[in-house]
Structures are given as C-alpha cells and as structure tokens.
Amino acid sequence: MKFSNLPLSKEMLHNLNEIGYKEMTPIQAQSLPHILEGRDVIAQAKTGSGKTAAFGIGILSKLQVKKFRIQTLILCPTRELADQVAKELRMLARATHNVKILTLCGGTAFGPQLGSLRHGAHIIVGTPGRVLKHLKKETLSLEHMDTLVLDEADRMLDMGFSEEINEVLEFAPKERQTLLFSATYTDEILDISATLQKDAVNIKTTSTETTNKITEYFYEVEYGQKLNTLVNIFSNFKPENVIVFCNTKIEADEIANTLQKKNIDALAIHGDLEQYERNDVLVQFANKSATVLVATDVAARGLDIKELSMVVNYDIPHGEETYTHRIGRTGRAGAEGLAFTLYEASEIQNVNEYKNDTRIFEDATSLKVVNGFDMKPANVTLVIEGGKKDKVRAGDLLGALTGDAGLQGSSIGKIDIYERQSYVAIENSRIDEAYEKLKNGKIKGKKFSVWIL
C-alpha cells in the first residue's frame, strides 16, 4: 500500500518519496491507520521491518511544532538504539521545520543533558534509567506529553527495565496515546500492554510464524553410543542452544561432565542443586552464557527460553504428553526447531508408539563424525553482589558498563536483577573490560563485589 492512501500532509508525503520510501512495509500498512487515529497500538514485527517509521510518521503528524514543549517520549533499551531512532526521526522530520529531538541516555555525562533540556525539545528519545533520573531531579517534565512509545519493549524487559518504565510513567499524564513495539510477543509484553495501554489495537505481522515448525528425528543408537551420537548431532546440526532431557540426576551430571571434556559447554540442572545454584544455571542458559543444558523434566519446569534451536530426548520420554511438552520449547517465533530422540534396539517397543508420517527414523551411524568440534557460548555472565535490596537497577549497571568510553550497548545481553544479586551477560570478547569497569567503578555511589560465573 502507498503512503498517499493515508491522511498525511503533502510535505510528509513528499519527504517520504525523497527518502525513497515508496510503499509501506506490512507493519506500517497495518499500524499507521490506527496510530494516526490516535489509538493505542501494540505491534509485533521482526527486526528490520520498519517499526521506527511506523511510529515516527505517527508522532510527527500529530506534533504541534509551534508549541515548543515535550509532547512525545520514546523509550529504548540502549543508547545505540536511541541514537538510531533519533536519526531516523530527524530524517522523517526534514519536511517539518524546527522539530527538536533530544536523546537522553545513560552512559553519557549528565551535565550537558541539562543544558540541552533547558533549551527545550519536542521529542525525547531515551533509555528508561536516565529518563527517570531527570524526572526525579525535575530537570525533565512530562506535563505536556501526549504520546509514549516503547520501542523494542521485549529487549527492555529482558534488560530488567520494567520497574523503571513503570516509575517513569508515574510522571506522565494518564491521558495519552501509548504505542508499544516489540520483535517478540510474549506474556510479559501482554502484561505491560495491559498496565500501560487502553483498548489497544493488536498487530502481528508474522501470522505464518505462529505455528511451531519442528522437525522430529528418532535415532537408533548402538548400546553405549548415546553420548557419541549426541556429539554427532551437535556437530551435524550446529544448534545455537540445546536442552538435553534425561531421566535421572546422575545421568544429567554425567552427560554434562562428559560434554565439557569434549569442549562442548554444558551445564546440568536437577533437583539436587541448591536454589541459588539452580538460579545460576538457568540465568546462564537464558542469557546465552551456556549452550547446552542437561536437565531432568522436573528441573526444566518454569524455564522460559524464547528461542531454543534444539531439544534432545536422551532417553525416550514417558509418554506422548511429556514428549510434546519437551519439544514444544523449540521452533518458537517462526524459527525452525529440531527435536531428537535417542533409543537403543532393546527399546524399539517403547518407540513404536511415536511412529507417524512426519517423524523421521534414522540409524545413528548415518551421522557424520566431525573432528575437532566444539561449542562455545556467545556470552559470559558477570555477577554483582547487589540487587533490588540495594536499589540496583538495570540502568545503573548499563551506565556503569557503558559510561566513559566503556562498552557498546550491543556487547551487553540480558540483565537479571534479583533481591541480593544481579547478573549481566557480556559478549565473550569484552568480559575482561566489563569486569574491570564494574570492579573499579561505583554503582549507586557504592562499590559492590563482582565476579565471573
């Protein structure tokens, strides 16, 4: 659909044409009519689908440029993303004279931001922690704000920003339009929509991606060859992250230990672990600091991993229901999932009930043997001995890591804040730098012990 079908100003249409936006992307075509009507919208579309222009065009069409006051607040997870949004908005705003867009992000000096705020702005693009700081110091007022955008809301929640977002909103007028954009559509996103939005229009552009696509393999393995087969499956299919289900605690430990000896980074989780150990393991797996999780059924309960590329049943599950539940963790969000079940010839009876037209039965000897294979995680986890009790926030940690020519936001993964501890996932190659920054720097004016998990 063309932009000219929308009630946009001549200048805006001309500018869009100049920029080279000839047609609307699907997310723009579906969301813009509602956004322009002033409705609250919750929109899910994958990265690169043009979400910025979807809300950007909406905001700019509504903006009263002559009233020089803050009318829009856009919250983003990192400084880099805020900069990108501001850049795209400035391009879209070329048609309108004198639109002032200001970024307020952590990891940069506070002082110069005060100066810029004194000069005024129409649109603020910022990270939740820093925006909140300005609101608390009363250097920023949202009194005249009538539009709120949460961009990459899922990533903001992943980074532990939900509390700060809620606090920011205590400073905002209740009468407003709220637009929420996210690449994934989870229960947490729906929760935040329910608290922040009114009668929101739901838009998902990935309807074909909602059904799980899982390819199911069953491998017959010679006696005593399950571990070797497991390694061959990994090296042949190269999953990003895997859960291996087995039936006993002892088996879980054994499998994880043997995999580690084979240069495959694996952690075990089962009922014998202390609560804190269990938490350490789950956090590391979820934030991509571990690639293989070896688990018993009970231990894997409540595990919320959004993008799991492979599930392996090291033993035949006890029944179709357990089987479906286990493999249902892969193939989400449109990604292709892989499920493997291993069995020995003596177990043929038990595996027969699983036979159907779509499941693939093979002999494990058909897998190639790859020499020198290893699996290393993308991230490493830093633990900070400070949490909610110490009022540590995601923004504080991000600020400490990215401030003063520190790390890029893109090197920082999931942030999890618990009562007494916080976990930050750091890209492998940046771990030393991150550790030094946190160890030597202060968070909330205090020093905290920091260690690498």
Residues in the site for ligand ADP, rule: CB under 6 A?
Answer: 21, 24-25, 28, 45, 47-53
Contacting range for Mg ion; rule: CB under 5 A; set: 3-11, 49-57, 168-176, 236-244: 49-57
Instruction: Kindly tell me which of 21 and 343 has the beta carbon lying closer to ligand ADP.
Output: 21
414 near Mg ion, rule: CB under 5 A: no
Which of Mg ion, ligand ADP, none binds 48 (CB below 5-8 Å, type-dependent)? ligand ADP
Task: Find where tokens 């070797």 sit.
Answer: 228
Nearer to ligand ADP, 92 or 273 (CB): 92
From the list 268, 292, 291, the residue with the least C-alpha distance to 280 is 268
What's the min distance (Å) between Cβ of 23 and ligand ADP?
6
The C-alpha atoms of residue 419 and residue 206 are separated, in whole angstroms, by 37
Please, what is the minimum distance in Å from the beta carbon of residue 52 to ligand ADP?
3
Dihedral over Cα of 266, 285, 417, 136: its sign = positive
From the CB of 13, what's the least distance to ligand ADP, in Å? Answer: 12
Q: Quick one: tokens of 393?
A: 């926030």
346 binds, among Mg ion, ligand ADP, none (CB under 5 to 8 A by kind): none
Distance between CA 394 and CA 156 in Å, rounded?
A: 9
* 72-75 and 101-104 beta bridge pairing: unpaired
Residue 239 binding result from ligand ADP, Mg ion, none, given CB thresholds of 5 to 8 Å by partner type? none
Q: Are 375 and 290 in contact (CB under 8 A)?
A: no
Q: Which of 12, 28, 51, 128 binds Mg ion (CB under 5 A)?
A: 51
What are the C-alpha distances in Å from 154 to residues 53, 75, 222, 301, 307? 19, 12, 44, 22, 13
In the complex, least distance from residue 86 CB atom to ligand ADP, rounded to whole angstroms: 12
- For residue 7, the tally of other CB atoms under 10 A from its CB is 9
| Minimum distance from residue 153 beta carbon to Mg ion (Å) | 11
Shortest Cβ distance from residue 327 to ligand ADP (Å)?
30
Select from Mg ion, ligand ADP, none the partner in contact with residue 21, using the beta carbon and a kind-dependent cut-off of 5 to 8 Å. ligand ADP
| Residue 30 interacts with which of Mg ion, ligand ADP, none, CB < 5 to 8 Å by class | none
Residues 6+ apart with CB under 8 A from 416: 160, 283, 286, 287, 422, 423
